[in-house]
């Protein structure tokens, strides 16, 4: 049964009271940050307290700029005393997405990623939506809340980012939310956030990518080796999608004992999320949407197949693993010749 926005809001509010102390937890990116801001606004004056917490280390320049310019107060989960809270909300993610989310039992989950069967008293998961920010805008409108300029700017920027300027999966609801937010957002502030994407210490990875990239059937593969921030992989994967006639970009980097593999495609043919799961799901976590996906693989899980310390070997293994899936073969990855 399709619930109205008003009914979803009513069911959400049912799980909180004036005595509730709420912690909203996110894996901080634009959609998650803006959605957490919206949850805080929804619960303002309805609960005893609301705090926002990130499970990741925020290093991307645009995310840092967003937090600073919009005045978002975030506390890393390791610095939070969980006993102080009796209600927990996860937005733009689900418990299965990270071990950090499993430290507590969520009261509510609001997300637009595919359903991972996360148990919560209240769950609103709509994977057909382009952004969780769209869902949160519907909640705000159902509550008859006019968003502040900073909140509207955050939600506006989040929808713009997660839909890749409406070039990725988009519903009419995403467009309606964007149109509504445009009337209340500070567009110049959003542009300042967007223009803070690159740092000088990221530029060396572009040099590596251009030098060592491998091209197969309009697909670009890159292994960057150790990276100072896995978001570098995202920036480079997005960069290659702007090159004609690239239809896929698959970029990996090693960070914190894991191989991070970022997928981007044109969203026309194969499903990136499915290819990520089929190629690498048995080695770690993998999944995503039709045009964008991600895999995170502990290094120890693949040492019998490939030497992860060799960027050349890792590139061959990664390329072969993806090629087998995108060509619809039933082969499985085998150790490469060293």
The answer for residues whose C-beta is within 8 angstroms of residue 262's C-beta and 6 or more apart is: 230, 233, 234, 237, 250, 251, 252, 292, 293, 294
Band (pLDDT 50/70/90 cuts) for residue 299 is: very high
**Can you tell me the mean pLDDT for 311-335?**
74
Q: In the 3-class helix/strand/coil scheme, how is 22-64 assigned residue by residue?
A: EEEEECCCHHHHHHHHHHHHHHCCCCCEEEEEECCCCCCHHHH
* Residue listed under structure tokens 């989960």: 77
Spell out the domains of the chain, with CATH numbers in brackets.
5-194 (3.90.1640.10), 201-326 (3.10.310.30)
**Can you tell me the mean pLDDT for 135-150?**
98
**Per-residue pLDDT at 329 exceeds 70:** no
Per residue in 158-169, pLDDT tens? Answer: 999 999 888 777
Mean of pLDDT over the chain: 92
Spatial contact of 155 and 147, defined as CB atoms under 8 Å apart: yes
**Per-residue pLDDT at 315 exceeds 80:** yes
Question: What integer pLDDT is reported at residue 337 of this predicted model?
Answer: 33
Q: Which residues pair with 51 in a beta bridge?
A: 23
**Can you tell me the mean pLDDT for 203-225?**
95
Per residue in 71-103, pLDDT tens? Answer: 999 999 999 999 999 999 999 999 988 889 989
Per residue in 263-283, pLDDT tens? Answer: 999 877 678 999 999 999 999
Cα(284)–Cα(302) distance, integer angstroms:
10
Q: Smallest Cα–Cα separation from 298: which of 283, 276, 309? A: 283
Question: What integer pLDDT is reported at residue 217 of this predicted model?
Answer: 87
Spatial contact of 92 and 132, defined as CB atoms under 8 Å apart: yes
Band (pLDDT 50/70/90 cuts) for residue 338 is: very low
**Per-residue pLDDT at 177 exceeds 70:** yes
Spatial contact of 201 and 207, defined as CB atoms under 8 Å apart: no
Q: Smallest Cα–Cα separation from 233: which of 261, 270, 265, 271? A: 261
Cα(277)–Cα(9) distance, integer angstroms:
33
Cα(158)–Cα(171) distance, integer angstroms:
15
Spatial contact of 124 and 107, defined as CB atoms under 8 Å apart: no
Per residue in 99-117, pLDDT tens? Answer: 899 899 999 999 999 887 7
The pTM (predicted TM-score) of the whole model is: 0.70
**Per-residue pLDDT at 135 exceeds 70:** yes
Question: What integer pLDDT is reported at residue 1 of this predicted model?
Answer: 66
**Per-residue pLDDT at 300 exceeds 60:** yes
Per residue in 44-80, pLDDT tens? Answer: 999 999 999 999 989 888 899 999 999 999 999 999 9
Cα(323)–Cα(248) distance, integer angstroms:
11
Q: Name the more confident of 169 and 235.
A: 235
- 101 DSSP assignment: G
Q: Which residues of the chain form beta strands (DSSP E)?
A: 21-26, 49-54, 74-76, 87-91, 108-111, 122-125, 214-216, 219-226, 248-255, 258-265, 285-288, 292-298
Angle at 285 between CA 156 and CA 215, to 5 degrees: 80
């Amino acid at each position: 049964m399709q619930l109205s926005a008003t009914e979803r809001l009513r069911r959400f509010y049912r799980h909180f009271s004036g005595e509730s102390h709420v912690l909203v937890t996110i894996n901080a990116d634009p959609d998650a940050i803006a959605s957490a801001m919206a949850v805080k606004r929804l619960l303002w004056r309805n609960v005893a307290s609301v705090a926002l917490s990130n499970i990741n280390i925020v290093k991307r320049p645009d995310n840092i700029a967003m937090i600073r310019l919009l005045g978002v107060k975030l506390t890393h989960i390791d610095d939070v005393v969980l006993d102080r809270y009796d209600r927990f909300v996860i937005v733009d993610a689900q418990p299965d997405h990270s071990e950090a989310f499993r430290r507590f039992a969520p009261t509510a989950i609001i997300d637009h990623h595919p359903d991972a069967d996360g148990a919560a008293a209240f769950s609103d998961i709509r994977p057909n939506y382009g952004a969780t920010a769209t869902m949160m805008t519907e909640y705000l409108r159902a509550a008859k809340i006019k968003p502040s300029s900073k909140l509207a700017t955050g939600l506006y920027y989040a929808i713009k980012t997660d839909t890749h300027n409406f070039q990725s999966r988009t519903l009419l609801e995403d467009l309606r939310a964007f149109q509504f937010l445009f009337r209340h957002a500070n567009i110049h502030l959003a542009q300042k956030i967007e223009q803070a994407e690159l740092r000088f210490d990221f530029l060396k990875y572009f040099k590596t990518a251009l030098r060592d990239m491998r091209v197969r059937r309009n697909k670009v593969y890159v292994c960057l080796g150790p990276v100072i921030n896995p978001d570098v992989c995202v920036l480079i994967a997005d960069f290659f999608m702007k090159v004609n006639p690239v239809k896929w970009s698959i970029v990996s980097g090693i960070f914190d004992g894991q191989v991070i593999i970022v997928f981007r495609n044109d969203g026309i043919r194969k499903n990136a999320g499915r290819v990520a799961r089929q190629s690498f799901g048995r080695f770690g976590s993998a999944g995503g949407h039709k045009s964008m996906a991600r895999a995170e693989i502990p290094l120890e899980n693949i040492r019998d197949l490939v030497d992860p310390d060799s960027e050349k070997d890792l590139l061959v293994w990664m390329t072969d693993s993806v090629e087998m899936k995108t060509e619809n073969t039933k082969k499985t990855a085998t150790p490469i010749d060293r």
